[in-house]
Amino acid sequence: MLRKSVILEIGNRKPECNPAINGPISDFRFLITDFHLKPIKVALSFFQNHSLQPYNTFGIEANADFFCRVTAGGQLAEALRFARESGLSPFVLGGGSNILLLGDLPYLVMKMELKGIQVIQEDADQVRLRVGAGVVWHDLVAFAVSQGWGGLENLSLIPGSVGAAPIQNIGAYGVEIKDVFYALEAVRVEDGQTRIFSRDECRFGYRDSIFKQEEKNKWVISSVDFNLSKAGIVHIDYGDVRKVLAEMGAGQPGIADVSRAIIQIRRSKLPDPAETGNAGSFFKNPEIPATVFETLKSKFPAVPGYPQAGDMVKVPAGWLIETAGWKGYREGRVGVHDRQALVLVNLGGAGGGEVKALASKIQASVEERFGIRLQPEVNYIGGGLS
């Protein structure tokens, strides 16, 4: 094990909290922190051959050549400098909820733990928040809901960290992060320079952004700014949201009602990673031309479809997988969840290659039956892939 101590900067951070999401959330003021960092001495430790099993929700065993925790902006700069001087490629690890590890990682793995939620602008209609990349995504959602600020409630209970959210343009129940995104700050890997990316510069697409395309692996996101609304407008026309709200007796639902409904829906369908290793939705919902969808519907009348821009139609991947007969399937130490066919699970002790092999079989099966090639939403890491 190798350790290295340096002079760094760290902010005045108050005690952090991972709030319970079962009950009401009344006071999140302790989450608001000072983003103006002050220079004090703090040790940044690097660990060799460090296990990543506790840091990925699939629970896959794999080691990082080097590992460190980044808890302050100065530490991020020092970690990147260490990577450059050591000839290591840096890899940023947030919540580990959207990755599949296929082997040991010959990188410097930086566990992103930059915290803080700060109000940087506010008027009668909206509020702008600056949020550290290491904040747990649902902690941010719960905080915003507790303050009556709308825009994030449909994204309740999505696992992962704030810094990873723009990379993937996370979305659920008719809302994507691009709908509330204002800007982000990122540090360039090659020289440590800082840059602000606007919404347009991020080039958001469906589960996509510039950080998955030509800027992939070139930047480390340190904070994200969001514009949230005080108007109380809710979006409840996607999936079972309206139905669950009615069952809850929420005749005129507010943002807290919507958040609770979506938490209820997600818990009813998705396994807890603490009990069963998984990364949530494994595949993207494919978008196909409307003409292709009409042909598909003539063969499979029950197929759902959601119109998109550009005369495209989004088809639920979960329906395709379930209709192809994979729901509840088990093969050795991996399988498909019995309540949500879109979720692949580690039944215990599986390697990333076993999960990937099952995913490939599902892709081939769905393509053979429906003529649609599913694309993974989960990122394959290691084994020569990144």
Residues labelled as active-site residues = 207, 281, 377
Identify the DSSP state of 32: B
Q: Report CA 123 to chain centroid distance, whole Å.
A: 29
The closest alpha carbon to 172, from 145, 206, 142, 144, belongs to 206
The closest alpha carbon to 102, from 274, 364, 359, belongs to 359
The closest alpha carbon to 127, from 32, 254, 44, belongs to 32
| Euclidean distance between CA atoms 373 and 241, whole angstroms | 28
Residue with tokens 């969808």: 293
Return the structure tokens found at 322: 């379930």
255-269 vs 137-147: helix crossing angle, rounded to 10: 150
User: How many other CB atoms sit within 10 Å of the CB of residue 294?
Assistant: 11
